[in-house]
Structure 1
């Protein structure tokens, strides 16, 4: 075990636990990055489509994935429900609220073979519908692209981030329904 004594390992774990506090509020960035290099992360992805079958994507430009388009999503926190994370993603990334089906429409394993940190995810894809207006201040502008801005897409764009290309059939399919809509 790399020459680290069990006592030293326990001391390191105790230090991390003290730094984290309650993991239900999320993790400090460095602890999250450590955790993501040790185990797959479970996340929700929100396939939001309108009446015309367009899909809502957000622009991403960060050190891990960008630049490119992606389906809004987020990692489920410790003891957080998928429904709560869906609501948090919609509020945080879009400034809006959504209704979502009670079960995912897709389950995907997403990996990046060239990276350990943030390199393995189990992604739950949920069909969602907007239940409030989008934050217009976050509308994408090609002249001044900003991380997190949104735009509607008729089809999957060529610059969809590589790890989300598995969603091309879902983005290009005309329209998914949420569980609530299916029963109407």
Structure 2
């Protein structure tokens, strides 16, 4: 397990690799969470998380889906790969000055019915279903999330 200082050094020196989950419902809306944590705290964002050292993509996908959506055992093969994206943030998880965060993100789309209970309140303070048009029009939706729909 990384200490906070070790992780801050990693954030300072190298990009992180992550998986984002673009969760759609049967009406075409997208699930967004209001972020509790840095970077991007206080904005609406798709669920996601970083891949850990020595973790396979399949294991990371399942862990992130459980941690962010509350769905255990979800397989990556059930999702559609959307591509590789870059996310740049001027801040970092620790709020340390002059340390930016750089992610290389593998984006995957999943579709559920709107009746499927999703979300983990420890990760996001609130969840909303928005259409792509709605989320693109909002100033409180992070630009890195908007990039998936442009």
Q: Normalised by the size of structure 1, how large is the TM-score?
A: 0.62
> In structure 2, the residue corresponding to 1:149 is in which secondary structure?
strand
Q: Name the structure, 1 or 2, with higher relative contact order (CA <8 Å, separation 6+).
A: 2
Contact 2:69 2:120 (C-alpha < 8 Å) held by counterparts: no
The change in CA–CA distance for 1:122 and 1:29 in structure 2 (over 3 A counts) is same
Cα distance between partner residues in 1 of 2:131 and 2:76: 21
The change in CA–CA distance for 1:118 and 1:90 in structure 2 (over 3 A counts) is farther
Residue 94 (structure 2) aligns with: none
Residue 125 (structure 1) aligns with: 107
Contact 1:49 1:129 (C-alpha < 8 Å) held by counterparts: yes
> In structure 1, the residue corresponding to 2:81 is in which secondary structure?
coil
> In structure 2, the residue corresponding to 1:62 is in which secondary structure?
coil
Count of residue pairs the alignment pairs up: 136
Residue 166 (structure 1) aligns with: 147
Q: Normalised by the size of structure 2, how large is the TM-score?
A: 0.74
More helix by share: 1
Contact 2:71 2:118 (C-alpha < 8 Å) held by counterparts: yes
Contact 2:23 2:111 (C-alpha < 8 Å) held by counterparts: yes
- The 5-angstrom pairing of residues 30-179 of structure 1 reads 30-97=5-72, 98-101=74-77, 104-112=81-89, 114-115=90-91, 117=99, 119-130=101-112, 133-135=116-118, 138=121, 147-155=124-132, 156=135, 158=138, 159-169=140-150
5+ residue gaps, structure 2: 92-97
Cα offset for 1:94?
Answer: 1.9
Q: 1:63-103: per-residue Cα shift (whole Å, max 9, x none)?
A: 42121110101000011122222221221122124454466
Residue 95 (structure 2) aligns with: none
Cα distance between partner residues in 2 of 1:29 and 1:130: 35
| Larger CA Rg, structure 1 vs 2 | 1
